[in-house]
Chain A
């Protein structure tokens, strides 16, 4: 297998973007047209409310537990550092022992933060009670 010779390597992604977005939105449009023709249409109030058992609900707030935000913060911390490691991994043989030692230092700092988060209980799932 060889590399494809192409002056504009990102052209395919651009075309794929156009083709997929166009095709899927066309499918949704078509499905909407067909269902308007064939499916039972009634705009009864209870049917159009959101799924819930019991009382008729008006609108539910988009509020979630802070635990989710904590995990998202951890993700930002660790994933950005992994992005730093990608260029190093590519040039690993070129950078040699010096690069390796630097990356070990970086990983040690990362581990320090990780241990701190662990000890603080950020990785535990706290119950509401």
Chain B
């Protein structure tokens, strides 16, 4: 706690914050699809979307219109209720996870004097809550795949389940070492621990790399996007979906990418602290933007892995490495 006291948070401020998170992050998530196509196009020496609006910027609106006006098909043998609800589960859990993460700096709305905090809920188990909420997001793909009674769907959701469960172990273990150093699960404490300018990635490079790999696997980014592997299982758990229900899965996926970016920035890359002449909010935006760009870069650079390679990588390489990292961190901290 430093000298500056923050105004007390009222319920109104928290509600405004919740609506802000939903509006801004879903806009960024939608815009992320445009950025992804443009960045991938430039990396492959193509032009990318350029017909709708200047530089193709209105592509997002065009996609939205397309998604809304498509026919909403529910196949004959599907379990209609679960089939209809599953996309909303994915999207909702992705955004609820953002509730415990510091998303933008806090500010006071000028005339009505309502303080909007930087975190919607500053819970003391922040990291555990975010990991748990992202894990609950697994129910979206799982139920979607099981409700459509289609073998591509069930294979896709089974793959999602084991991929997510396996890499959840690595995420937890890779975050353990920084938690040991900081001694808290709150993102605010992580931020303050690095306020002297030394980022945690300097002390924990192995944990950072493990977290990034596991984070990419959890958000289904390319080296690990086996659940929508067109050549093998058509489109995985989204095979039978159309229109906005299909789009909902992607809003959830992009929101999860942003969450992973924020966790990586706050836990390992110095968080909201000022650096040189740049104020904290520019730093956090730059870090999140870079981590988002890095995901696209990885997608452009690496091919898929096979499912058995995925499991081999997780259980035989990453997990032992993470455990060794925790033990070595413990020994160094005890000795030093």
Interface residues of chain A, those whose CB is within 8 Å of chain B, are 1-6, 9-13, 15-17, 19-21, 23-25, 27-28, 30-32, 34-36, 38-41, 45, 47-52, 58-65, 68, 71-72, 74-75, 78-79, 82-83, 85-86, 89-93, 96-97, 100, 103-104, 107, 110-111, 114, 118, 123-125
A12 touches B119 (CB 8 A): yes
> B154 in the interface, Cβ–Cβ < 8 Å?
yes
A44 to B168, CA, bound (A): 43
- Complex CA distance for A35 and B100, rounded to whole angstroms: 35
Known contacts A1-B280, A19-B18, A24-B87; 20 further A-B pairs (Cβ under 8 A): A1-B272, A3-B122, A9-B124, A13-B96, A13-B99, A16-B96, A16-B98, A17-B92, A23-B22, A24-B92, A35-B71, A62-B149, A71-B165, A75-B166, A78-B169, A90-B179, A92-B333, A107-B323, A114-B319, A123-B312
Give A56 Cβ to nearest chain B Cβ, in Å: 10
Report B295-321 residues with CB < 8 Å from chain A CB.
307-308, 311-312, 315-316, 319-320
Q: How far is the CA of A31 from the CA of B86 in the complex (A)?
A: 15
CB distance from B218 to the nearest CB of A (A): 13
Given contacts A1-B188, A23-B22, A62-B146, are A125 and B307 in contact (CB under 8 A)? Answer: yes
Q: Which residues of B contact A61 (CB under 8 A)?
A: 149
User: Contact flags (1/0) for B146-166 with A, using CB distance below 8 Å?
Assistant: 101111101100100110011
Q: A20-B91, A51-B239, A59-B149 given as contacts; is B176 within 8 A of A86 (CB)?
A: yes
Closest residue on chain B to residue A42 by CB atoms: B71
Residue of A nearest to B171 (CB): A82
Secondary structure call for the B interface = helix
How far apart are A61's CB and chain B's nearest CB, in angstroms?
8
Find the B residue at minimum CB distance from A31: B244
Provided the pairs A58-B77, A71-B162 are in contact, do residues A4 and B122 lie with their beta carbons within 8 angstroms?
yes
B11 to chain A, nearest CB (A): 6
Given contacts A6-B9, A86-B179, contact A79 B172 (CB under 8 A): yes
Q: Counting CB contacts under 8 A, is B41 at the interface? A: no
**Given A16-B18, A50-B76, A64-B158, are A6 and B121 neighbors across the interface (CB < 8 Å)?**
yes
Residue B67 CB within 8 A of the other chain: yes
A28→B251 CA distance, assembly (Å): 13
Closest-by-CB residue of B relative to A47 is: B73
- CB–CB B334/A100 < 8 A: yes
